[in-house]
Amino acid sequence: MDALKLISSSSMKENAPDIHVGDTVRVHVRIAEGDKSRIQVFEGTVIAKKHGGISETFTVRRIAHGTGIERVFPVHSPVVEKVDVVRSGKVRRAKLYYIRKRVGKAAKVKEALR
Protein backbone atom coordinates (compact mmCIF):
# COMPACT_ATOMS: atom_id res chain seq x y z
CA MET A 1 0.00 0.00 0.00
CA ASP A 2 2.91 2.36 0.67
CA ALA A 3 4.20 1.81 -2.87
CA LEU A 4 0.82 2.89 -4.25
CA LYS A 5 0.89 6.04 -2.14
CA LEU A 6 4.44 6.78 -3.31
CA ILE A 7 3.51 6.43 -6.99
CA SER A 8 0.37 8.53 -6.63
CA SER A 9 2.15 11.30 -4.71
CA SER A 10 4.96 11.50 -7.27
CA SER A 11 2.59 11.73 -10.25
CA MET A 12 0.23 14.32 -8.72
CA LYS A 13 0.48 17.92 -9.92
CA GLU A 14 2.01 20.34 -7.47
CA ASN A 15 -0.12 23.21 -8.77
CA ALA A 16 -3.48 21.45 -8.57
CA PRO A 17 -6.27 24.02 -8.94
CA ASP A 18 -8.05 25.18 -5.79
CA ILE A 19 -11.64 24.84 -6.94
CA HIS A 20 -14.82 24.32 -4.96
CA VAL A 21 -18.33 23.22 -5.83
CA GLY A 22 -20.34 26.20 -7.07
CA ASP A 23 -17.39 28.01 -8.65
CA THR A 24 -17.56 29.15 -12.24
CA VAL A 25 -14.37 27.92 -13.88
CA ARG A 26 -12.64 28.13 -17.24
CA VAL A 27 -10.92 24.81 -18.04
CA HIS A 28 -8.23 24.82 -20.75
CA VAL A 29 -8.13 21.34 -22.32
CA ARG A 30 -5.62 20.04 -24.86
CA ILE A 31 -7.42 18.52 -27.86
CA ALA A 32 -5.48 16.27 -30.27
CA GLU A 33 -6.74 16.33 -33.86
CA GLY A 34 -4.63 14.10 -36.04
CA ASP A 35 -1.00 15.12 -35.61
CA LYS A 36 -1.89 18.63 -34.37
CA SER A 37 -3.08 19.70 -30.93
CA ARG A 38 -4.86 22.81 -29.74
CA ILE A 39 -6.27 24.25 -26.54
CA GLN A 40 -10.05 24.32 -26.12
CA VAL A 41 -11.71 26.31 -23.34
CA PHE A 42 -14.73 24.92 -21.47
CA GLU A 43 -16.41 27.37 -19.10
CA GLY A 44 -19.15 26.46 -16.66
CA THR A 45 -20.17 25.81 -13.07
CA VAL A 46 -18.57 23.08 -10.96
CA ILE A 47 -21.47 20.91 -9.81
CA ALA A 48 -19.54 18.02 -8.24
CA LYS A 49 -16.14 16.87 -7.00
CA LYS A 50 -15.52 13.15 -6.59
CA HIS A 51 -12.93 10.74 -5.26
CA GLY A 52 -9.65 12.06 -3.91
CA GLY A 53 -5.93 11.87 -4.37
CA ILE A 54 -4.69 10.83 -7.79
CA SER A 55 -8.17 9.89 -9.10
CA GLU A 56 -9.90 13.15 -8.15
CA THR A 57 -12.36 14.52 -10.70
CA PHE A 58 -14.68 17.49 -11.01
CA THR A 59 -17.81 17.93 -13.13
CA VAL A 60 -18.45 21.18 -15.00
CA ARG A 61 -21.87 22.10 -16.42
CA ARG A 62 -22.75 24.75 -18.95
CA ILE A 63 -25.67 25.60 -21.23
CA ALA A 64 -24.96 25.76 -24.97
CA HIS A 65 -27.76 26.52 -27.45
CA GLY A 66 -30.39 25.65 -24.84
CA THR A 67 -28.87 22.25 -24.08
CA GLY A 68 -27.05 21.36 -20.88
CA ILE A 69 -23.53 19.99 -21.35
CA GLU A 70 -21.54 18.34 -18.57
CA ARG A 71 -17.93 17.25 -18.73
CA VAL A 72 -15.93 15.38 -16.14
CA PHE A 73 -12.29 16.44 -15.85
CA PRO A 74 -9.57 14.60 -13.91
CA VAL A 75 -7.69 17.10 -11.73
CA HIS A 76 -4.27 15.50 -12.26
CA SER A 77 -4.61 14.80 -15.99
CA PRO A 78 -1.93 16.05 -18.41
CA VAL A 79 -4.77 16.89 -20.84
CA VAL A 80 -6.02 19.66 -18.51
CA GLU A 81 -3.60 22.55 -19.09
CA LYS A 82 -4.97 24.97 -16.51
CA VAL A 83 -8.11 25.86 -14.59
CA ASP A 84 -9.05 29.50 -13.99
CA VAL A 85 -11.66 30.41 -11.37
CA VAL A 86 -13.89 33.08 -12.93
CA ARG A 87 -16.07 33.58 -9.84
CA SER A 88 -16.57 31.84 -6.52
CA GLY A 89 -19.94 30.39 -5.67
CA LYS A 90 -21.72 30.33 -2.32
CA VAL A 91 -23.39 26.94 -1.90
CA ARG A 92 -24.44 24.73 0.99
CA ARG A 93 -24.30 21.40 -0.81
CA ALA A 94 -21.50 19.05 -1.84
CA LYS A 95 -23.26 18.16 -5.11
CA LEU A 96 -25.37 20.58 -7.16
CA TYR A 97 -27.30 18.03 -9.21
CA TYR A 98 -30.53 19.95 -8.58
CA ILE A 99 -29.31 22.62 -11.03
CA ARG A 100 -29.98 20.16 -13.88
CA LYS A 101 -33.73 20.68 -13.38
CA ARG A 102 -33.48 24.48 -13.20
CA VAL A 103 -33.72 26.83 -16.18
CA GLY A 104 -32.58 30.43 -16.64
CA LYS A 105 -32.00 32.57 -13.57
CA ALA A 106 -33.10 29.77 -11.25
CA ALA A 107 -29.96 27.84 -12.25
CA LYS A 108 -27.64 30.62 -11.04
CA VAL A 109 -25.35 30.25 -8.04
CA LYS A 110 -24.85 33.18 -5.66
CA GLU A 111 -21.38 34.69 -5.58
CA ALA A 112 -19.22 34.21 -2.49
CA LEU A 113 -16.91 36.86 -1.14
CA ARG A 114 -13.68 34.91 -0.67
d(CA 69, CA 61): 6
Beta strand ranges found along the chain (DSSP E): 24-33, 36-50, 57-64, 67-74, 80-87
Q: What are the structural domains of the chain? A: 2-107 (2.30.30.790)
Q: Which amino acid is at 85?
A: V
Per-residue pLDDT at 4 = 65
Cα separation, 50 vs 70, in Å, equals 14
Q: What is the pLDDT of residue 1?
A: 62
- Digitized pLDDT (tens) for each residue of the chain, 114 residues in all: 677 677 777 767 677 789 999 999 999 999 999 999 999 999 999 999 999 888 899 999 999 999 999 999 999 889 999 999 999 999 999 999 999 999 999 999 999 987
Taking the model in full, what pTM does it have? 0.88
Q: Distance between CA 85 and CA 17 in Å, rounded?
A: 9
